[in-house]
Structure 1
Amino acid sequence: MTPESARTYTNPVLNADWSDPDVVRVGDDFYLTASSFGRVPGLPLLHSRDLVNWTLVGHALDRLEPAHAFATPGPDRGVWAPSLRHHADRFWIFWGDPDQGVFQVNAPEIRGPWTAPRLVKAGKGLIDPCPLWDDETGEAYLVHGWARSRSGIKNRLTGHRMHPDGTEVLDEGEVIVDADRIPGWFTLEGPKLYRHDGWFWILAPAGSVETGWQGAFRSRGFFGPYEERVVLEQKDTDVNGPHQGGWVRTASGEDWFLHFQQRGAYGRVVHLQPMVWGEDGWPVLGDDGAPVTEHRRPALPPQPPAAPATGDDFPGGRHGRQWSWTANPRDGWATQHSGDGLRLACVRSDDAHDLRRVPSVLTQRLPGEPRVVEVELRLDSEEPGARAGLAVLGDAYRWIGLQRDAD
């Protein structure tokens, strides 16, 4: 690391598909989670000491429920846009399952043990929830967005009073921001709820992941009325979006904002933006509202370069934390053994012609824009039609590997 690079960082700080990130500080440590959709394990947990270098330290969700619904891949189901908070000496993660409702898990430490998922509010299309425990009043609140694909509703945020133990909402809820009434605003989603300087704040993106912007809303009361402002947008940069994320304050009082940028097949990479509070009381993100590419590092102790692992020798036949299955795994898909290397079973499947429908596929987030990916592979099965290989898997896929023919 050169002296100059030691003083600055370059975006994205997480150059892989960490969609819908949220962040919290506890002491001198920063923690981040992100959407995992139908992949298992879910709710990844990342750790940093400087907001620039991150490592993957675990997951908060071992399996997705109900088991029958996640026995096959569902890339648009499962864990959408979690919120990570620390309250009452516990970590809390709330997320929306668009087909079931708002769930939460909690734990005394980031590495667990995490509780079983608790359904806080049932309903279709409930997404992007975020809790707030108001230290000033002792009240607890929950805000969430809506997925039109499940509910027919979008572009609005609904607020609830919540039981302080996070187990349930206490009312029917009411719309606290209706972006249909804000000229030019559409697809408002991903709210993150905060208390600051006597205001309730909601930081939420709108305008879609490809071309949208980051908005801020404030009100003296949780249920509104809210006034709004655009606080981060592409302007003349090459950062399209910029989309959904979270605000975090360091122990010394610096403010920072982590958000994602949609990069098509490469997923949603994570950027770090400086943040200050203007004289008029509104937050100013990036370079006067435009995303930064390079910037002074946070005033935190220097840390060695780090990033979530991508390579794996599979010691003892075990795969690293960076790997996940495309559905709830079953016994027999992988075999532990004494040497290095992963042993995967050839699993019969009626959908074997389409990898997007096969659950026995072990995946990791595509790391940035790789030029070369290497894998050592051997196909042991003698059964005609058996195959194994390496794939790039998304809306479409391509694979390379070995297939056993009749001869």
Structure 2
Amino acid sequence: MTGETYTNPVLNADWSDPDVLRVGDDFYLTASSFGRAPGLPLLHSRDLVSWTLVGHAVDHPEPAEEFATPRHDCGVWAPSLRHHDDRFWIFWGDPDQGIFQVNAAEIRGPWTRPHLVKAGKGLIDPCPLWDDETGEAYLVHAWAKSRSGVKNRLTGHRMHPDGTELLDDGKLIVDGDRIPGWFTLEGPKLYRHDGWFWILAPAGGVETGWQGAFRSREFFGPYEERIVLEQKDTDVNGPHQGGWVRTPSGEDWFLHFQQRGAYGRVVHLQPMRWSADGWPVLGDDGAPVAVHRRPDLPPQPPAAPATDDDFPGGRFGRQWSWTATPRDGWATQHSGDGLRLACVRSADAHDLRKLSNILTQRLPGTPCAVEVELRLDSEEPGARAGLAVLGDAFGWIGLQRGTDGQAEVVHRFAEGVAERERDAAPARPAPEGRVRLRIEIGAGARCRFFHDVGEGLIPSGPVFAATPWRWVGALLGLFALAPVGPGHAGAATFSHFRIDPL
């Protein structure tokens, strides 16, 4: 990347199913958050290349009790972000409950509580449109076959202009089964342009598909279609769902995701223009670009969503989210620095994938080193705390209190098919109950673990290959646990969390 060009991906981590919006000189982006809390991340940019995380639109998925334990393939799916009537609006589908929306006067909130617009199983990827020409409002959505038995089709509705309800039972407006070669049509984004209703929607599957465009003079159809972005001879497999945005000078751009295994769904920025016959052309004549001229926007200093954290006053930054709805007392604020996590008692301490009290952030998409300092304050035998890489498989390194009262460095892992963790290396003494932990993450998300109890970094165990969850990239996590038993089990303190490039 130079001062005049940018390099994809512009968001090199798991910002799944992005949608983008411009209001004035500011661009905003949101993404899926599934069962994590808080949810619906909100990012801001002035140049479409450098993004910062400015907040979240929901504290946790609703209803909270349904997400008291991790549900990485449920919850908040594929949101749409819009601005109408001087308010920001986000619509999303929960595949088990239906279509929700929240809205706010300012992007940083406060946001309304989630409102159920339409109940139903398998209703996903909703996108509203307020038609300024007619005053009508519409909504299009896709279907999850796992819940409804239906997929590869888009359903359209008239919507009440206040966004609270749909006004009809819906009509099938695009049937992917009737388009030769098309399958798994999903993720529609709805627009009005040049006298047409436009739907930009991917098909063909997350890892191998393409981006389609549909247009019709009437919202309920009939629609004609065209493939407008596909992998061709690039390294960008299955360019998948995203959103179109126009700059103040009239340039058009398209942000979409690419599935990259353990790294999740990273976000690319594609130039967009209109062909002589009125169709959008994305990328380099329909192929994703790796490097391109920057958008015609005022220069901005480089920026990226925060990763490092000193946890001032015991508070953690916006980049962190719990794996499920949090409970009071998991993290304690105090007068100093450092994240103080309670050693939560659990019968599932042998399997981090089942635990709600893990504080996580996204795995970076480039080689990096992750470091944090840990002090185990709990005197409870079996209490433990550590730094983890979480997915269908997981590995972690940290401290555990032995039955003799001494702290030890432990390193454990579990394969995707394993029901409980086991040792990845022999335990080592940590006489002062303190340790510096380090994970070096190389190409292919291959992780090497290290620890330092005051004698320098020592490697631990074999290489561990990070894996994604279902639809979610691998996560970095901090946790503190204790075996089942009576009373409070004490706490652990994390400090100086850093992620540096390798």
- Name the residue aligned to 1:223: 220
Alpha-carbon distance between aligned partners in 1 of 2:400 and 2:177, rounded to the nearest angstrom: 53
Out of 246, 249, 269, the residue aligned to residue 249 of structure 1 is 246
Superposed CA offset, 1:320-368 (max 9, x none): 0000000111001000011111000010112221111100000001121
Superposed CA offset, 1:177-218 (max 9, x none): 110111111110000000000000000001111101000000
**Contact 1:93–1:105 at 8 Å: present in 2 too?**
yes
Out of 9, 13, 22, the residue aligned to residue 10 of structure 2 is 13
What SS does structure 1 have at the residue aligned with 2:215? strand
RMSD between superposed Cα atoms in Å: 0.8
Out of 227, 231, 234, the residue aligned to residue 234 of structure 1 is 231
Alpha-carbon distance between aligned partners in 2 of 1:112 and 1:35, rounded to the nearest angstrom: 18
* TM-fit CA distance, 1:22: 0.2
| Structure 2: unaligned runs, 5 residues or longer | 405-502
- Name the residue aligned to 2:188: 191
Alpha-carbon distance between aligned partners in 1 of 2:398 and 2:95, rounded to the nearest angstrom: 35
- Name the residue aligned to 1:335: 332
Superposed CA offset, 1:269-294 (max 9, x none): 00000000110100000000000000
- Name the residue aligned to 2:407: none
User: Are residue 345 (structure 1) and residue 342 (structure 2) matched?
Assistant: yes
Alpha-carbon distance between aligned partners in 1 of 2:249 and 2:64, rounded to the nearest angstrom: 45
What SS does structure 2 have at the residue aligned with 1:215? strand
**Contact 1:260–1:269 at 8 Å: present in 2 too?**
yes
Alpha-carbon distance between aligned partners in 1 of 2:16 and 2:181, rounded to the nearest angstrom: 25
What SS does structure 2 have at the residue aligned with 1:372? strand
1:294-305 alignment, distance < 5 Å: 294-305=291-302
What SS does structure 1 have at the residue aligned with 2:374? coil
User: Are residue 260 (structure 1) and residue 257 (structure 2) matched?
Assistant: yes
Out of 24, 27, 31, the residue aligned to residue 27 of structure 1 is 24
Superposed CA offset, 1:140-177 (max 9, x none): 00000111111111111111000000000000001111
Alpha-carbon distance between aligned partners in 1 of 2:381 and 2:171, rounded to the nearest angstrom: 59
Aligned residue pairs total 404
Out of 127, 134, 138, the residue aligned to residue 137 of structure 1 is 134
| Structure 1: unaligned runs, 5 residues or longer | none
1:2-401 alignment, distance < 5 Å: 5-401=2-398
Superposed CA offset, 1:22-62 (max 9, x none): 00000000000000000100000000000000000000001
Alpha-carbon distance between aligned partners in 2 of 1:394 and 1:193, rounded to the nearest angstrom: 33
Higher radius of gyration, 1 or 2: 2
Alpha-carbon distance between aligned partners in 2 of 1:361 and 1:354, rounded to the nearest angstrom: 12
* TM-fit CA distance, 1:381: 1.2
What SS does structure 1 have at the residue aligned with 2:139? strand
TM-score (normalizing by structure 2): 0.80
**Contact 1:310–1:367 at 8 Å: present in 2 too?**
no
What SS does structure 1 have at the residue aligned with 2:42? strand
**Contact 1:78–1:98 at 8 Å: present in 2 too?**
yes
* TM-fit CA distance, 1:66: 1.2
Alpha-carbon distance between aligned partners in 2 of 1:354 and 1:129, rounded to the nearest angstrom: 35
Deviates more, 1:397-406 or 1:99-108: 397-406
Q: Percent identity?
A: 87
What SS does structure 2 have at the residue aligned with 1:50? coil
* TM-fit CA distance, 1:372: 1.2
* TM-fit CA distance, 1:369: 2.7
Alpha-carbon distance between aligned partners in 2 of 1:403 and 1:93, rounded to the nearest angstrom: 43
* TM-fit CA distance, 1:405: 2.1
Which one has a larger percent strand, Structure 1 or Structure 2? 2
* TM-fit CA distance, 1:385: 1.7
Alpha-carbon distance between aligned partners in 1 of 2:106 and 2:367, rounded to the nearest angstrom: 34
Alpha-carbon distance between aligned partners in 2 of 1:355 and 1:155, rounded to the nearest angstrom: 35
